[in-house]
Amino acid sequence: MQNVQVHSIPTLSPDDTTGLETAIGQGQICPEDIICILGKTEGNGNVNDFTRGFATLAYKIFLAEKLKMAPSDVEKQIAFIMSGGTEGVMTPHITVFTQQRDVTPDTAPTGKRLSAGIAFTRDFRPEEIGTLTQVEEVAKAVEEAMEKAQIEDVEDVHFVQLKCPLLTSER
């Protein structure tokens, strides 16, 4: 059984972890329960947008301290997906997905509900991007995520968030 929650937290800059720190300090979020952070930064969203990497690094360092592990280990258990560009009506923020795994059957919600699972593919070579190889590896990762989310029927999957490598002219 699992209990998935979604927390939206405004940010003031790509490296602003204070909202997450406040939510953790107030007991709204347990760092060990975080499975994914989706973020929107105020960068330009182009290939030269450094704010995505800057935000990811800031959250990995912050959570490494909270979880008592190396930042490289944090990224093995938490999916970080950052998107740049907040022109117009968008505002910088993060959306934090948490998953309590120790929910007992008597306290778990019944019926169909939000469920989440994360999985990672291997790193792809540039020439594999957009090929059947990538499709097959992503399909395996989705099956793994479904298992972690305790979803048995593919008809119950309504959204899959993918983080794809950004190809530059050099790559």
Mean pLDDT score of the chain, rounded to an integer?
89
Do residues 114 and 17 make contact, with C-beta atoms less than 8 angstroms apart? no
DSSP the chain: --EEEEEEEE-SSTT--HHHHHHHHTTS--GGGEEEEEEEESS--STT-THHHHHHHHHHHHHHHHHTS-HHHHHHHSEEEEEE---TT---EEEEEEEE----TTTSPPSS--------PPPPPGGGTTSHHHHHHHHHHHHHHHHHTT---GGG--------PPP-S--
Does residue 170 surpass a pLDDT of 80? no
| Higher pLDDT among residues 38 and 48, named by residue | 38
Q: What is the pLDDT of residue 166?
A: 67
- In the structure, what pLDDT confidence band is assigned to residue 126 with cuts at 50, 70 and 90? confident
The average pLDDT across 111-139 equals 90
The average pLDDT across 130-147 equals 94
The average pLDDT across 141-166 equals 88
- In the structure, what pLDDT confidence band is assigned to residue 169 with cuts at 50, 70 and 90? low
Instruction: Report pLDDT digits (tens) over 71-120.
Output: 999 999 999 999 888 776 778 999 999 998 766 666 666 778 888 888 99
Q: What is the pLDDT of residue 11?
A: 95
Look up the pTM and report it: 0.84
Does residue 130 surpass a pLDDT of 80? yes
Does residue 6 surpass a pLDDT of 90? yes
